[in-house]
Chain A
Amino acid sequence: DVKVTQSSRYLVKRTGEKVFLECVQDMDHENMFWYRQDPGLGLRLIYFSYDVKMKEKGDIPEGYSVSREKKERFSLILESASTNQTSMYLCASSTRLNNSPLHFGNGTRLTVT
């Protein structure tokens, strides 16, 4: 079974802090994604990566950056956390195969105070 592990289940940070959300997958997947989940808005794509050191902006990249130095790890960085970044963050991975679904981590609920 594919395992996608997010380093924290709950996180509380202060406004202005630099925040790192880590995600690791164990199935050698090429593609990795960061989503933000908010009630009534569904899942919105922040960034994705289809290879090591490659990254593409999603639909809501403002205020975020990412890093993918190794194939199995994809980090989401909040350069200066703000209260409007309080949300649930979901990491996911997939292969390049045409019918590959997304495999999700358990999510990190981030609160910025």
Chain B
Amino acid sequence: AQTVTQSQPEMSVQEAETVTLSCTYDTSESDYYLFWYKQPPSRQMILVIRQEAYKQQNATENRFSVNFQKAAKSFSLKISDSQLGDAAMYFCAYRRYTSGTYKYIFGTGTRLKVLA
């Protein structure tokens, strides 16, 4: 069964500094998608970044980038120049194809605190 593990329940970072959130997953499939979602106190889950497994180049969205290591089944999120608005729960998710559609499996989340 596929699983997604986020080993850091909570992280802190100083404003303007860089922080990396870790995520590992377990799968026997060769093609899949990985996602990072952000959930601020407003509770609205927001897509941060996505990565397709067959693409070797790491995805980047402004201050957010991933370090995708397919062989190690690792998908970490790097936030550069951290801002107070980055404070949120961050969830890593793996998507697989089943029963004619896609199912998403989520990790347990990492709470990121940004210190002024």
Residues of A participating in the B interface, judged by any CB pair closer than 8 Å: 30-31, 33, 35, 40-45, 48, 50, 56, 58, 88, 90, 92, 94, 96, 98-102, 104, 106-107
Contacts and interface: CB of A to CB of B under 8 A. Distances in A.
A99 B35 CA distance: 10
A41 B105 CA distance: 12
A30 B93 CA distance: 20
Interface residues of B, number: 26
A48 to B, nearest CB: 7
Interface of B: 4, 6, 9, 33, 35, 37, 42-45, 47, 50, 52, 91, 93, 99-109
Contacts, number: 58
Contact of B52 (A45, A99, A106): A99
Contacts of A43: 91, 93, 106
Closest 6 CB pairs of A and B: A50-B101, A104-B45, A42-B108, A43-B106, A107-B43, A42-B106
